[in-house]
Amino acid sequence: MLRKSKINRDILLSLFIISCGVMMAIGRFYDERLALLGINFSIIFSSIFMVLFFSVLFLVKSTKIDLNKILLYIFYCFLIISSLILWIIYGVTDYGLVKFFNLVLIPLPISLVIIEKFNNRDRDLMINILLGISVLLLLFTFFSLSTLSSTRSGVLGGGPIVLSRWLCFGAVVVLFHPRIKRFKVIYILLFLFAALFTGSRGPIFSIFLVMILYFFFNFRKVFFRTIILLSFLISILFFTGIFDQLLQYNNVSRVFMNIGEGGFNKPNNRSYIFESSIQEIISYPLGVGSGNFVEYTEDPSFFKNKDLFYPHNLFFEILCEFGIITFLVFMIYLLQSLLSFKINLFNKRETRNMMFYSFAFLFFNSMVSGDLNDARLLFVFIPLMLVKENE
């Protein structure tokens, strides 16, 4: 009887994890882009996801009091309550509503199930599903390469920022995945090559930071290997002329704009957005409500003319839109999660290394590109990396 119950539990959670992957890839609870023959498939996917979510909740017979769990609940409560109150004061935008409900209806339910019911098997299956989505997006990217080479666009996973994030996430997971040994370098290069054609710099920069972090933690082990590999790759890129040929494509050249064309000096770069964010935090320390960042900047017309609706930094976005109190709760939750993970950080379990560096990539990426909804992978990874090995 117990064995049958466990089998039913595993089947139900496996179906839920698959539906999580679908929802994470779409990124929206309702997406008008997924309409075909008069049927909007996002409604079908979302309905299945919610049915499975509530079915899994019935598996929770009791819950253990855990600091990480309490902080997760408190953070999302502050996020929801603060935005509802601030909307009454500062108004509501369509973008703010969509972003708010996508966050509450996708990462939040997934995080709740992870922190209440996940074990090793569930965690590993979730990683494999997410990696599978990255591979699927990689294939779609190569099929759309002729379009991507001239126009910034995305496939399935959203716009260019989200697409590049998924591709680079796939590269990081492959790099540290304990079961992927053969052709690892080839897979990583394919992911990075495809990411270049999205024209999004944030994920590429974030991978660079992850490599620096890995190099720092494993200096003696990988120093000579890293020098040899980098020298080989750089030689191939420059001496064969491949790098110059890649720069002829607008999207690829855009990735290297900050270095080659002085991107940090341009008026629409991240530094100007960050300066505006700081000014808004000073003016509205308690926040202005989800989606209202642009409405209360010093120069809203500048941002609207360039279709910039968020600070491209997770910390600034939480501070500007949800206030300093919600931000402090998030920081406590984040730091406590890292502290809990620390005990497994330097052991020999390769899965833990994969989880840590994947988290590091998603965290770095959320600091330089995308909005709160684009950071959904990060919000899911925080509880995911806390799944204990012996559960």
Mapping DSSP onto H, E and C, the string for the chain reads CHHHHHHHHHHHHHHHHHHHHHHHHHCCCCCHHHEECCEEHHHHHHHHHHHHHHHHHCCCCCCCCCHHHHHHHHHHHHHHHHHHHHHHHHCCCHHHHHHHHHHHHCHHHHHHHHHHHCCHHHHHHHHHHHHHHHHHHHHHHHHCHHHHCCCCCCCCCCCHHHHHHHHHHHHHHHHHCCCCCCCHHHHHHHHHHHHHCCCCHHHHHHHHHHHHHHHHHCHHHHHHHHHHHHHHHHHHHHHCCHHHHHHCCHHHHHHCHHHHCCHHHCCCCHHHHHHHHHHHHHHCCCCCCCCCCHHHCCCHHHHHHCCCCCCCCHHHHHHHHHHHHHHHHHHHHHHHHHHHHHCCCCCCCHHHHHHHHHHHHHHHHHHHCCCCCCCHHHHHHHHHCCCCCCC
- Is the distance from CB of 40 to CB of 34 less than 8 angstroms? yes
Asked if the structure places residue 159 within a domain, the reply is yes
Q: Assess if residue 335 is contained within a domain.
A: yes
Q: Would residue 47 count as lying in a domain? A: no
In a domain, 59, yes or no: no
The pair phi, psi for residue 200, each rounded to 5°, is -100, 125
As given in the structure block, the two tokens for residue 28 are: 């929206």
**Is 20 contained in some domain?**
no
Q: How far apart are CA 125 and CA 108, in angstroms?
A: 19
Number of domains in the chain: 1
CB of 335 closer than 8 Å to CB of 364: no
- Tens digit of pLDDT per residue, the chain (391 long)? 455 556 677 889 999 999 999 999 988 888 877 777 778 888 899 999 999 999 998 877 777 888 999 999 999 999 999 999 999 999 999 999 999 999 999 999 999 999 988 888 899 999 999 999 999 999 888 777 655 544 545 445 467 778 889 999 999 999 988 888 888 888 988 998 888 878 778 888 898 899 888 888 777 676 666 666 666 666 665 666 555 555 555 555 555 665 444 444 454 567 788 888 999 999 999 999 999 998 888 877 777 666 678 888 999 999 999 999 999 999 999 999 998 887 655 445 677 888 999 999 999 999 988 889 989 999 999 999 888 765 4
Domain membership of residue 144 (yes or no) is yes
pTM: 0.87
What count of other Cβ atoms lies within 10 Å of the Cβ of residue 116?
A: 17
- Does 336 map to a domain? yes
Is 112 among the domain residues?
A: yes
What is the extent of the structural domain holding 330?
66-384
